[in-house]
Amino acid sequence: MEPDVKEELYKVMDALAALKIDLSCDPHLPGESLVLSASKARDACEALHSATISIKQVAAALNGVSGEKPAH
């Protein structure tokens, strides 16, 4: 089943927006300090994973490849 390119692009944008939120820092921390909880780090990794899968599906659809696992 070929993915809907528009739908997959929205998934990418959603995942990247979630990543931005997960990686947002407390503006009250001094200098280069960053405090990121383990759960936020896991959420950020999941957002990157989700975006990567959607981008691969879009690339496969644009290249005329069908199937769940597009070639790298």
Q: Are 69 and 20 in contact (CB under 8 A)?
A: no
pLDDT in tens, 3-30: 688 888 888 898 888 888 877 766 676 7
CB 60 within 8 A of CB 71: yes
Report pTM. 0.64
Q: Would you list the domain boundaries of the chain?
A: 1-24+33-72
Q: Which band of pLDDT confidence, cut at 50, 70 and 90, is reported for residue 69?
A: low
Encode pLDDT of 31-50 as tens digits: 666 677 888 888 888 888 98
CA dihedral of 50, 58, 6, 67, whole degrees rounded to 10: -90
Query: What pLDDT is attached to residue 38?
Result: 87
